[in-house]
Amino acid sequence: MIRGKFITLEGGEGVGKTTNLAFIKGYLQQHNVPVVVTREPGGTVLAEKIRHLLLDNDSETISEPAELLLIFAARAQHIKHVIEPALAQGAWVLCDRFTDATYAYQGGGRNMRISTIEWLENLVQGSLRPDLTLLLDAPVEIGLERAQKRAAFDRFESEKISFFEQVRRAYLLQLELHPERIKLIKANQPLVDVQSALINVIHPLLR
């Protein structure tokens, strides 16, 4: 059995991950690729419960170390019960956010030590890394303006604009550190151009 590909979508608020996740899924299915679509935090029953705790505005204040540990606890469940089994069966896994988001939100936004995130990444993931990461990038103001048109803001979306500027900078730093894996997609261009750029990056993996 040929192992499947692991593709992640990353980016700040309002960059169009949900829309483009559905587009990529459809594109892969047109090429007869079996696809599993999932998200982080989440993806399993337990991980979705952790997601609720992390996003809930009404719960007790979550300390930064607790937030980081909860994210990796959810990720450990996700990898064991969804991601690895699907890849082993030859399916492609398409995931809305993964560990790059932790470097961006907890490392950049929360100013947590990168060495701590790296240690947890190695502990929880072993050698597992995405085959391809699509970083949807747009100026923070544009993304937040789009996000405001959706449902009420969750705990992360309620942060100050300076937090999201730090998140964006951290994402762009990840791009610099891993150019062979992370591909930048400019998300503030027309949707048809965004999706054309996505196809240009994904299509070579089909060969």
User: Regarding beta strands 92-96 and 6-10, do their DSSP bridges make them parallel or antiparallel, or are they unpaired?
Assistant: parallel
pTM: 0.92
Indicate whether 52 belongs to any domain. Answer: yes
**Number of other CB atoms surrounding residue 98 within 10 Å:** 26
pLDDT at 69: 98
Indicate whether 120 belongs to any domain. Answer: yes
For residues 61-89, average pLDDT: 97
Indicate whether 119 belongs to any domain. Answer: yes
b/e burial code for range 154-168 (CB count within 10 A of at least 16 → b): ebbbebeeebbbbbb
Of 6, 4, 13, give the one whose Cα is nearest residue 181: 6
Q: Strand pairing partners for 12?
A: none
Looking at residue 87, which CATH number applies to its domain? 3.40.50.300
For residues 145-156, average pLDDT: 64
34-53 per-position pLDDT tens digit: 999 999 999 999 999 999 99
| 157: confidence class by pLDDT, cuts 50, 70, 90 | low
Q: What is the SS3 assignment for 205? A: helix
**Which pair of structure tokens corresponds to residue 141?**
């103001």
**Which pair of structure tokens corresponds to residue 108?**
């950049």
Which residues are CB-neighbours of 140 under 8 A, at least 6 positions away?
Answer: 12, 161, 164, 165, 168
CB 53 within 8 A of CB 70: yes
**Number of other CB atoms surrounding residue 148 within 10 Å:** 13
pLDDT at 40: 97
Indicate whether 1 belongs to any domain. Answer: no
Return d(Cα 25, Cα 17) in angstroms, integer.
12
Question: How many structural domains compose the chain?
Answer: 1
- What is the residue range of 15's domain? 6-206
Return d(Cα 89, Cα 176) in angstroms, integer.
32
97-106 per-position pLDDT tens digit: 999 999 999 9
Helix axes of 140-147 and 161-177: crossing angle, nearest 10 degrees: 120
**Which pair of structure tokens corresponds to residue 83?**
């991601």
Indicate whether 102 belongs to any domain. Answer: yes
**Number of other CB atoms surrounding residue 142 within 10 Å:** 14
Q: What is the mean pLDDT of the chain?
A: 92
Return d(Cα 34, Cα 92) in angstroms, integer.
6
134 pLDDT above the threshold of 80: yes
Return d(Cα 10, Cα 105) in angstroms, integer.
11
| 57: confidence class by pLDDT, cuts 50, 70, 90 | confident
